[in-house]
A and B are shown apart, each in its own frame.
Chain A
């Protein structure tokens, strides 16, 4: 079970003066159960890449193909693929339109021709997953707070029970509490076996949560590996307009200034453990 991109090239507005190749011969595969982050500077092609995963964009003619669970995405099966591969847009709350939260969440179930009870059951289950108060379900979508709207929108994608979930900057524009909640939600979904691929600009979020990091640079894959492998390349990342987590910089500087032989650190909890260890060994006096 996987999503595989094979030599994908994609051009925006081909054969016009505005022609722009956004992806150039990209091959990438995402296995079932992964928790992968895609990072890259603005305009690097990361959203274009992610939209190929469920056929929102299709590769240029004869320039690559995308397979979901071994099946090639074509114009014919694309709507079935989208039931399997959910996609949450950057500001999903902008897509809410129904009179009530319940109806909006149920929108994705329309074409499945379920009975009213089944619909209710699935909406309630999805609402519980995203920790949405049942009392909100009968409210208008335009009365909700920012964080609530975001969760309703994600809920509207989860309701079809996709096995893959793609998210384009799921935490952008939220306050710190909202951000934490979203990342917690993604983690719990992944623990339940859902494959998560998300775009993020927060290196800290990526280091804390993702188990694989794919860096997109100029329409190609720049780096691909565990967060630990990727965030070792501070200079390379900086030259691409990216960054490493703050805590990594802190311990890098500490290594250079103190001359202590300490490993790379990418999360705060790792850093805390390292400081405790150094203290216990007497190499660091506080």
Chain B
């Protein structure tokens, strides 16, 4: 399978063992932090922190590249647009009607760093946390919202079911594609319309199977007396340890550094 974003890579690092809620908060804070950055020093601080955490997780840096692969095209398009349409004062070179400014180049580099850091921090969460742990953490974080009528448990349950079926459907897709290829289907040649059309023989059996799985799943849950989150106890209770507290404090320190750099020192 080529999808690496969202895959859990088992391990036993500090980051792996941390409470999923800590990691969820970490990810959200990181996203805000990265989006806040504007100067090189701020980007450097954020990058050091994100990459440092990645190193702590013990996951090979190859995975960073793997998680960035799906967005390469998006990055390339953003860079091209930045180069062509960013108006600055320092002309780098002119190509016919197009002028590339030095500011445009710098802006593109910043965009690359920004998007990459966003993806890396999101994938650090999914690489080090199983989908079950993520949804447990989300449910726990959303619980206060239940007081105002937000269906926290149901949303978490829906998410965990959806996540649980991603690999199942990926395998199923692979199998159906092979089976249709075995009887002469062609997924590679032709123009875009032909290619889209060639996936119909894959999508129909996949949907039929998905509806059947959903029905089976509902029956299985009902037969085990599932009736929503009320009164449900947990086998694994989430625990917020002192290591989590330290992690959050360190995160806070880095966030504060970026805020200081941006608003007080203005560099």
Contacts and interface: CB of A to CB of B under 8 A. Distances in A.
Cβ-closest 5 pairs across A and B: A97-B204, A87-B182, A108-B183, A108-B184, A95-B179
A156 B184 CA distance: 10
A160 B182 contact: no
A157 B186 contact: no
A179 interface: no
Contacts, number: 62
Contacts of A87: 179, 182-183
A97 to B, nearest CB: 4
Nearest to B183: A108
A79 interface: yes
Interface residues on A, range: 20 to 34
Main secondary structure of the interface of A (DSSP, over half): helix
Contacts of A15: 62
A196 to B, nearest CB: 15
A83 B181 CA distance: 10
B77 interface: no
A89 B179 contact: yes
A51 interface: yes
A56 interface: yes
B180 interface: yes
Given A94-B176, A156-B183, A157-B183, 20 more contacts: A13-B1, A15-B62, A17-B9, A79-B186, A82-B182, A87-B182, A89-B175, A89-B182, A94-B205, A94-B208, A95-B179, A96-B205, A97-B200, A97-B205, A107-B184, A107-B185, A107-B201, A109-B184, A112-B184, A142-B208
A202 B55 CA distance: 51
Interface string B174-206: 011011111111100000000000001100110
Interface of A: 13, 15, 17, 51, 54, 56, 79, 82-83, 86-89, 92, 94-97, 107-112, 142, 156-157, 160
Nearest to A54: B182
A97 B182 CA distance: 15
Most buried by B among A56, A92, A95: A95
